[in-house]
A and B are shown apart, each in its own frame.
Chain A
Amino acid sequence: DTAVSQTPKYLVTQMGNDKSIKCEQNLGHDTMYWYKQDSKKFLKIMFSYNNKELIINETVPNRFSPKSPDKAHLNLHINSLELGDSAVYFCASSRDSGRAPYEQYFGPGTRLTVT
């Protein structure tokens, strides 16, 4: 059983399109995250939800909108895709973001390519 799963694994789309990435965790965790990994492998937090409430919203263009329908799911919708959005997007989850040691479990990633 996959602990943190993401769909799709690969996404190739054209500039200007709108796309969504989905994430699900079956670990019973309270907190979920979206990270972006660029072509140089640099990883940065984008968003975090705790019990469906947005708790981290980094400096990310408002074309990116996360949605958490329930504790087990966190989706990422991206409007008007740009070339610079090409990256690998990782979903992660943890038991409670307010308490250390913040052991985060990562999904396999979604490689987004914008042409």
Chain B
Amino acid sequence: GEDVEQSLFLSVREGDSSVINCTYTDSSSTYLYWYKQEPGAGLQLLTYIFSNMDMKQDQRLTVLLNKKDKHLSLRIADTQTGDSAIYFCAEVPPGRRALTFGSGTRLQVQP
């Protein structure tokens, strides 16, 4: 997406932490999302964060939001080979009522 930017590729070793970054442009977006797409599959909602929060933790996933810099990150602790996928951040700009996706980050986990 031209409004939501992500790095294209990340490679980590199994057991390490992964950090996937995203920069969005619409500071009015109320919620920001992380989706996961495994090869040949649809998108799975992993988590979302409300814009008045700085951090949200859900088991191995930690979402950090820096609203001033419009920066969103997803940290995956103890990354497993099953975490290999494409990760998309997304926002719903006010008045849009549909997701605007980033370009996706392909996470490769080496055994």
Residues of A within 8 A of B (CB): 4, 31, 33, 35, 40-45, 48, 55-56, 90, 92, 97-98, 100-109
**Could you tell me if B42 and A102 are in contact, using CB atoms closer than 8 angstroms?**
no
**Could you tell me if B98 and A101 are in contact, using CB atoms closer than 8 angstroms?**
no
**Could you tell me if A90 and B42 are in contact, using CB atoms closer than 8 angstroms?**
yes
**CA of A56 to CA of B101 in the docked complex: distance in angstroms?**
16
Q: How far is the CB of A89 from chain B (nearest CB, A)?
A: 11
**CA of A48 to CA of B96 in the docked complex: distance in angstroms?**
11
Chain A residues whose C-beta falls within 8 Å of the C-beta of B100 in the assembled complex: 45
**Could you tell me if A103 and B45 are in contact, using CB atoms closer than 8 angstroms?**
yes
**Could you tell me if B43 and A102 are in contact, using CB atoms closer than 8 angstroms?**
no
With A33-B98, A55-B97 as known contacts, state yes or no: A106 contacts B43, CB within 8 Å. yes
Interface range on chain B (Cβ under 8 Å from partner): 20 to 34
Residues of B within 8 A of A (CB): 1, 30-31, 33, 35, 37, 41-45, 48, 50, 86, 88, 92, 96-101, 103-104
If over half of B's interface residues share one DSSP class (helix, strand or loop), that class is named, otherwise mixed; here it is strand
Choose among A33, A104, A108 the residue with the greatest number of B CB atoms under 10 Å from its CB: A104
**CA of A4 to CA of B30 in the docked complex: distance in angstroms?**
26
**CA of A33 to CA of B101 in the docked complex: distance in angstroms?**
14
User: In the complex, given contacts A45-B99, A48-B97, what are 4 additional A-B residue pairs having Cβ atoms less than 8 angstroms apart?
Assistant: A43-B104, A44-B101, A55-B97, A103-B45
